Structure 1
């Protein structure tokens, strides 16, 4: 528990930008740098929830000195440098505390004082949030919370991207070189070489928009796991173009909108492949871009995905609030289909809270909006949202509420109405069906659906689907002697284990 003697880390005088730290970030976006911080933390056994917002606050000078966990990570990332070299103020000048002894520096598991570690971790840095609190009106972490709490967003290990991956951003049966992005490829080469990127023109904006379309198309067909790392290369390029400026205001507006949509797309790839921390950073980056440019469509999209992420991370109340924020942003846009999807996001949050009435009311709104049909006001990114997705998301709601027969009915409709060309979604809906049937006491049918999913996994790489199948296999294990179940369990057990 934090000591009451710890003084606030917030200075009384206006913050001074930390230019040294900004230079160390280089050409990486705030989200990419935050991911590098988290990787470095794991290398030394630390746990930090660094995201783009934290990086922004450091660079703005709002964080004059990091807490001890971040200090260890930063000094590991930049060996030979001191906190002062990184642009931070001496700890004694910020907190009025004595300099630490060697014992204080050691992590608790290496002999350092556990009380000192707990006192400083999560207290002096109020924006080291576990979740999306800061985006939805919640306050910072209470100082009295224990420091060994688990982070629901911290679910996946990352590896460093190689230079080769900077030039290609798609795999899983379709490799698209960065050079095929035209001006984006040239800008990426300049950024990688450390040369100034020329001012962007309309061609750059068009190439950025096309990159977003290609990423979404390949995700629909192949899933996220093989795409995420390569999809970060166009995102890096987009922010290099934003830094360089545009020749015209209309082009700048397109670049900001495209960069925000690209951040959401890359965030979704992280989300679907189980990298919740990275997804949160990318979504926050997109939301910040929307707020800076006053783009309600981008804001609604960012909040939409944040609601989905919060639900998957076990934060249903936050999912409800994010979905409601998305609906407020989306109302002036005039898209009934968008309002339908956002109502479904809200329904998912209510289901997670076991609020059947709230869920049913939101589902009714979703159905009513969907019934109004498509229109020219529907955003381009909503091309995935049709009858199959509507049924699939409703199935997830009933599954969360434990109504397995109803969930299975909607999941079956989703799978039956899905265009087989979009393999990833077909596999997802069928996996949902298998799980609902298994939990509803229909093991033979569940095994049959599970085998159909296994047939699709040669074309699809999605951690979400693998996780769902693993859960179904556990439920079916007591029925392993039933007809068909043993075949599913054997094939599932033979799947290669993902890292």
Structure 2
């Protein structure tokens, strides 16, 4: 049976100036980078050019090899390998700091085929060495610069960037109001189909810089919603790739935010030393290009990590630093994604710190302020603050007030598809279990059961 030559592959190879032997070598190197061994030779490349079939994973490696050579994203479909589309990302993908922008985009494309519910929450955590290496690589990095040889088949303008940012604002509000699990599926589809393709299109330098910044905003939201859904492995891989994405145009403020998010996740998982390292990398790395409001956020995460580590003096210093930065928050123009970092958010971070430090009176005082200041549109944040207030009241020995406060949080937040909020509730239940015979505690436990059953039915 005669086969049709693969003219698409031939055209991209010609554009890249890649010979059969050169492409074969690059494919072997890409496979090795992903922990796979391929014996690809120039003979195999010629067979593909002649129209022979190719395995799905090998096609993805060929696309990545040519992406690296061209410094733009190339998909298997562009190479005449349509059957290779939508290959799920292997578990190892995204576990290391990518070597190039093209590799980063390919990893992100693969991650969008993963669902938060596909893997147990605490499986495949990032090894310390990879996290430390990523933080160091980002700290000492210089911008890659925008691709200059992208095909002009599609031109991107500021209108496209504005659309991405509008979508990011919409998805961020869904996340705040209903939890990370609510819109993750639609979000990752939008990112894969409407955002990633634009990064390989043509654009002016000013548009390209804004485009990559907007893409990073979207990518970090995917990381955050995966984290809030309880899949820490997937969230970690998104964060690692998003950190690398910020390096393309040297977006130090967003990169520092990603490190702060990684610190937040590590702190949530009880990994205090990792959380502290990442928070300090965020503070140091963000100094050169961040607004005072952003620096307040980064310093607050350092305070959170120090509180988990029970470093009272260090936590007090970091909280004071965050306050000093926040006092100057109005002195610079902030990006839209930072709008949530208001006084209520800062006070909310501090009430967590005092709770973790065991300072019950201060924890209650700050938690009450946080509850009073938090805009109801940030429903999940308000739920967290109420639960921290309940935990702080319990720390102060006020059982009935604690159970009443926690009951209000459950009643207001039982529709949140947030694994983190559910854990706050579960932690409180365990804390009051010693008082299981108390009528108020029994009533609270019934409320939780009813709320969880309603959530399961939705």
TM-score using structure 2 length: 0.69
Verify: 1:22 aligned to 2:61, yes or no: yes
The CA deviation string for residues 142-177 of structure 1, in whole angstroms up to 9 with x for no partner, is xxxxxxxxxxxxxxxxxxxxxxxxxxxxxxxxxxxx
Question: How far apart in 1 are the matches of 2:239 and 2:271?
Answer: 16
Q: In the alignment, what sits opposite 1:294?
A: 250
Question: How far apart in 2 are the matches of 1:429 and 1:35?
Answer: 37
The CA deviation string for residues 363-394 of structure 1, in whole angstroms up to 9 with x for no partner, is 11111222234233323211111121111111
Question: How far apart in 2 are the matches of 1:345 and 1:373?
Answer: 17
Q: In the alignment, what sits opposite 2:159?
A: 203
Q: In the alignment, what sits opposite 1:37?
A: 90
Quote how far apart the aligned CAs of 1:346 are.
0.6
SS across alignment from 1:53: coil
Question: How far apart in 2 are the matches of 1:208 and 1:23?
Answer: 29
Is contact 1:435–1:446 with CA below 8 Å preserved after alignment? yes
Question: How far apart in 1 are the matches of 2:97 and 2:299?
Answer: 30
Higher share in helix: 2
Q: In the alignment, what sits opposite 2:135?
A: 136
Quote how far apart the aligned CAs of 1:474 are.
1.5
Verify: 1:276 aligned to 2:232, yes or no: yes
Question: How far apart in 1 are the matches of 2:332 and 2:439?
Answer: 50
Is contact 1:307–1:323 with CA below 8 Å preserved after alignment? yes
Question: How far apart in 2 are the matches of 1:34 and 1:437?
Answer: 50
Question: How far apart in 2 are the matches of 1:364 and 1:233?
Answer: 41
Question: How far apart in 2 are the matches of 1:135 and 1:407?
Answer: 34
The CA deviation string for residues 397-455 of structure 1, in whole angstroms up to 9 with x for no partner, is 12222223322221111001112233222112111212222344221111111111122
1:478-497, aligned counterparts within 5 Å? 478-496=434-452
Question: How far apart in 2 are the matches of 1:441 and 1:136?
Answer: 41
Question: How far apart in 2 are the matches of 1:480 and 1:349?
Answer: 32
2:198 to 223, 234, 241: 241
1:74-473, aligned counterparts within 5 Å? 132-137=131-136, 198-236=154-192, 237-243=194-200, 245-333=201-289, 335-473=291-429
Question: How far apart in 2 are the matches of 1:385 and 1:210?
Answer: 18
Q: In the alignment, what sits opposite 1:51?
A: 94
CA RMSD of aligned residues (A): 3.2
Is contact 2:98–2:241 with CA below 8 Å preserved after alignment? no
Change (3 A) 1:246 1:454: same
Is contact 1:34–1:52 with CA below 8 Å preserved after alignment? no
Count of residue pairs the alignment pairs up:
351
The CA deviation string for residues 183-216 of structure 1, in whole angstroms up to 9 with x for no partner, is xxxxxxxxxxxxx983433322221111111111
| Structure 2: gaps (5+ residues) | 1-24, 32-57, 65-74, 78-84, 104-113, 115-123, 138-151
Quote how far apart the aligned CAs of 1:34 are.
10
Quote how far apart the aligned CAs of 1:258 are.
0.8
Change (3 A) 1:457 1:23: farther
Change (3 A) 1:401 1:266: same
Quote how far apart the aligned CAs of 1:464 are.
0.9
Q: In the alignment, what sits opposite 1:192?
A: none
SS across alignment from 1:246: coil
Question: How far apart in 2 are the matches of 1:452 and 1:54?
Answer: 43
TM-score using structure 1 length: 0.63
Is contact 1:300–1:326 with CA below 8 Å preserved after alignment? yes
Is contact 1:50–1:128 with CA below 8 Å preserved after alignment? no
Change (3 A) 1:450 1:290: same
